[in-house]
């Protein structure tokens, strides 16, 4: 009789786990408290995988020998408590997928910068001709990738939520970019719980594995010193010339495997100091995986970052419009503001996630000439930057925000959408916000062209 596996959650993670479990011969059942999206339903139906939505039937769930929970389901959920009372093993999709992987894993985590670093690492591996898959929080789930075919390498973006459910998950190369307060509601508002979650990345690593981390981050540096991590450590730094990968104020310097390499940021397509960290981390990982520096240099020139992450949309009459809609917290905005010398017209706003705007006050004072608040309730932005920015205005229309930004700009200025807030007051999600911004900018470009003609 086949082992019964119940998957909680019918999103990308849960559906991927269901497909993999089916391929491996398990008796599978999927249960989601909410509605399952149509495309995931079709995936399940096509493989004859039974599922339910809008409820958790405990009689079906507690009959399992293994439960795979989606990362969005917290441990305090009633169904998880019941499963624990019944001594049922509970793991995450990441852990389940790992049990069937034959290749090596490069896993990337951190509060900010994960997606860019993951995409860059994958791009460099792919352009080097390696048999590599991209998975995790960016694109398809790891389980779905493993269900489809085997790869020599898997480049995986992992969140703290995903790491929470891991036991034996072991990346050959792990990257930890930074740790700043985020999702603390999930971690009982205890920062150490969130830190411990991120460091689960290293819990199963062994000698011969590699742990790449941003050593300027005081939290990370303190934790590395406290913990026994048998993997070989590669430090990435902006302020420490002894680190194995560091920026000396002019060039990126790598001392890896007793070899010395230099790299200029203009050799890459990524701007800003935060992208120095992302680039050095990705390059260190890919070189460690066996790709030559000459091949890496070629790949760096052809990389395109993901949409909504400091995406240059268009330049109109010398004014550059940049879509950084993914910047939903102040720490992300630090990177956005730091990527440009100014003057900036900054479009921000949405649902505030408890931001401490003091963190960016000086940057804003020096660089931002106009702040356009795009949200239903902009009171916190007004309170924080009244007297810091000379001109502050507000709108609930992205088209109006773009047109207003263009009116107050001159050639050489940058209009930066970097909201510092969630998007759900006016938009479906941050992608929708970024897409609408991009459309408004491109429409403006057409209109300006017609006038010029």
DSSP line for 359-417: GGHHHHHHHEEEEEEESS--HHHHHHHBTTBSEEEEES-HHHHHHHHHHT--TT-EEEE
Q: How many Å apart are CA 251 and CA 39, to the nearest integer?
A: 46
Q: Per-residue pLDDT tens for 121-160? A: 999 999 999 999 999 988 899 999 999 999 999 999 998 8
Query: Does 368 map to a domain?
Result: yes
Q: Please indicate, yes or no, whether residues 60 and 177 belong to a single structural domain of this protein.
A: no
Element (H, E) at 52: strand 51-53
Q: How many Å apart are CA 349 and CA 376, to the nearest integer?
A: 8
What mean pLDDT value characterizes the chain?
93
Q: How many Å apart are CA 373 and CA 386, to the nearest integer?
A: 12
Q: Check residue 183 and give its pLDDT.
A: 56
Q: Please indicate, yes or no, whether residues 317 and 409 belong to a single structural domain of this protein.
A: yes
Q: Check residue 451 and give its pLDDT.
A: 64
Question: Nearest CA to 216 among 237, 246, 192?
Answer: 237
Q: Check residue 190 and give its pLDDT.
A: 73
Q: Please indicate, yes or no, whether residues 143 and 227 belong to a single structural domain of this protein.
A: yes
Q: Please indicate, yes or no, whether residues 297 and 342 belong to a single structural domain of this protein.
A: no
Q: How many Å apart are CA 82 and CA 80, to the nearest integer?
A: 5
Query: Does 365 map to a domain?
Result: yes
Residue 23 sits in a domain whose CATH number is 3.40.50.720
φ and ψ at 29, to 5 degrees?
-140, 135
Q: Check residue 353 and give its pLDDT.
A: 80
Q: Check residue 206 and give its pLDDT.
A: 97
Q: Check residue 330 and give its pLDDT.
A: 87
Element (H, E) at 47: none
Q: How many Å apart are CA 388 and CA 366, to the nearest integer?
A: 9
Q: Please indicate, yes or no, whether residues 279 and 341 belong to a single structural domain of this protein.
A: no
Residue % of the chain over a pLDDT of 70: 97
Helices (H), 302-360: 330-338
Helices (H), 67-151: 78-85, 93-98, 114-127, 142-148
Residue 130 sits in a domain whose CATH number is 3.40.1190.10
Q: Please indicate, yes or no, whether residues 285 and 416 belong to a single structural domain of this protein.
A: no
Q: Check residue 437 and give its pLDDT.
A: 98
Query: Does 125 map to a domain?
Result: yes
Could you tell me the residue range of the domain that residue 50 belongs to? 4-93
Q: Please indicate, yes or no, whether residues 202 and 108 belong to a single structural domain of this protein.
A: yes
Residue % of the chain over a pLDDT of 90: 79
Q: Please indicate, yes or no, whether residues 443 and 324 belong to a single structural domain of this protein.
A: yes
Q: Please indicate, yes or no, whether residues 267 and 381 belong to a single structural domain of this protein.
A: no
* Residue 110: DSSP 8-state: -
Q: Check residue 171 and give its pLDDT.
A: 98
Q: How many domains does the chain have?
A: 3
Q: Check residue 308 and give its pLDDT.
A: 84
Locus of tokens 């921000």: 348
> What is the pTM assigned to this prediction?
0.78
Locus of tokens 């229309």: 397
Q: How many Å apart are CA 95 and CA 105, to the nearest integer?
A: 12
Query: Does 306 map to a domain?
Result: no
Locus of tokens 């209109």: 447
Q: Is the pLDDT of residue 186 over 70?
A: no
Locus of tokens 């004072």: 365
Q: Per-residue pLDDT tens for 299-348? A: 999 998 777 888 889 999 999 999 999 999 888 898 788 778 779 999 99
Q: How many Å apart are CA 427 and CA 437, to the nearest integer?
A: 11
Mean pLDDT computed over 20-29: 97
Q: How many Å apart are CA 167 and CA 198, to the nearest integer?
A: 13
To the nearest 10 degrees (0 to 180), the angle between helices 330-338 and 273-288 is 100
Mean pLDDT computed over 96-123: 93
Q: How many Å apart are CA 145 and CA 180, to the nearest integer?
A: 30
Assign 1 a pLDDT band (cuts: 50, 70, 90): very low
To the nearest 10 degrees (0 to 180), the angle between helices 38-46 and 12-23 is 0
Question: What is the token pair recorded at 304?
Answer: 């395109």
Q: Per-residue pLDDT tens for 349-365? A: 999 888 889 889 989 99
Q: Please indicate, yes or no, whether residues 85 and 23 belong to a single structural domain of this protein.
A: yes
Q: How many Å apart are CA 55 and CA 46, to the nearest integer?
A: 22
Instruction: Count H helices and E strands in the chain, helices first.
Output: 17, 20
Q: Please indicate, yes or no, whether residues 320 and 445 belong to a single structural domain of this protein.
A: yes
Q: Is the pLDDT of residue 397 over 90?
A: yes
Query: Does 389 map to a domain?
Result: yes
Q: Please indicate, yes or no, whether residues 405 and 351 belong to a single structural domain of this protein.
A: yes
Query: Does 383 map to a domain?
Result: yes
Q: Check residue 287 and give its pLDDT.
A: 98
Strands 259-263 and 252-256: antiparallel
Assign 283 a pLDDT band (cuts: 50, 70, 90): very high
More confident: 226 or 1: 226
Q: Which of 93, 126, 144 is the last residue of a domain?
A: 93
Q: How many Å apart are CA 277 and CA 274, to the nearest integer?
A: 5
Beta bridge partners of 134: 155
Q: Which of 273, 301, 329 is the last residue of a domain?
A: 301
| DSSP line for 258-315 | TEEEEE-GGGSS--SHHHHHHHHHHHHHHHHTT--HHHHHHHHHT--PPTTSSEEEEE
Q: Check residue 184 and give its pLDDT.
A: 61
Q: Check residue 182 and give its pLDDT.
A: 57
Q: Which of 301, 330, 345 is the last residue of a domain?
A: 301
Beta bridge partners of 395: 374
Element (H, E) at 44: helix 38-46
Q: Is the pLDDT of residue 401 over 90?
A: yes
* Residue 358: DSSP 8-state: G
């Amino acid at each position: 009789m086949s082992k019964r596996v119940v998957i909680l959650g019918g999103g990308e993670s849960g559906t991927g786990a269901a497909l993999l479990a089916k391929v491996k011969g398990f008796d599978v059942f999927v249960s989601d408290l909410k509605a399952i999206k149509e495309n995931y339903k079709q995936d399940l139906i096509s493989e004859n995988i039974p599922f339910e939505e809008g409820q958790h039937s405990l009689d079906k769930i507690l009959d399992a020998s293994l439960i795979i929970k989606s990362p969005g389901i917290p441990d305090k959920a009633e169904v998880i408590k019941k499963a624990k009372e019944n001594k049922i093993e509970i793991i995450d999709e990441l852990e389940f997928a790992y049990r069937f992987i034959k290749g090596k894993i490069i896993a990337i985590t951190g509060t900010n910068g994960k997606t860019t670093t993951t995409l860059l690492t994958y791009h460099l591996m792919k352009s080097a001709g390696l048999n590599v898959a991209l998975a995790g929080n960016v694109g398809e789930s790891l389980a779905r990738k493993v269900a489809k075919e085997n790869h020599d390498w898997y480049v995986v973006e992992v969140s703290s939520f995903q790491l929470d459910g891991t036991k034996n998950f072991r990346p050959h190369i792990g990257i930890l970019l930074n740790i700043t307060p985020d999702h603390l509601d999930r971690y009982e508002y205890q920062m150490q719980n969130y830190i411990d979650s991120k460091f689960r990345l290293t819990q199963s690593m062994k000698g011969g594995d590699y742990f790449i981390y941003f050593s300027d981050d005081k939290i990370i540096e303190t934790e590395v010193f406290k913990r026994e991590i048998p993997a070989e450590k590669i430090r990435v730094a902006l302020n420490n010339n002894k680190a194995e990968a560091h920026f000396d104020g002019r060039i990126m310097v790598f001392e890896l495997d007793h070899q010395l390499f230099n790299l200029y940021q203009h050799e890459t397509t990524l701007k800003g100091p935060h992208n120095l960290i992302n680039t050095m981390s990705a390059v260190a990982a890919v070189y460690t995986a066996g790709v030559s520096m000459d091949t890496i240099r070629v790949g760096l020139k052809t990389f395109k970052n993901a949409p909504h992450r400091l995406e240059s949309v268009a330049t109109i009459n010398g004014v550059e419009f940049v879509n950084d809609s993914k910047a939903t917290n102040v720490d992300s905005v630090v990177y956005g503001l730091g990527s440009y010398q100014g003057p900036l017209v900054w479009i921000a706003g949405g649902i505030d996630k408890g931001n401490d705007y003091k963190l960016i006050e000086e940057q804003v004072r020096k660089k931002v000439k106009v702040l356009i608040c795009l949200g239903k309730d902009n009171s916190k932005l007004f309170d924080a930057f009244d007297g810091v920015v000379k001109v502050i205005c507000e709108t609930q229309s992205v088209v109006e925000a773009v047109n207003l930004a263009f009116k107050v700009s001159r050639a050489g200025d940058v209009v930066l959408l970097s909201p510092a807030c969630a998007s759900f007051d006016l938009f479906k999600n941050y992608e929708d916000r970024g897409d609408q911004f991009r459309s408004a900018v491109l429409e403006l470009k057409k209109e300006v062209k017609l006038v010029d003609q």
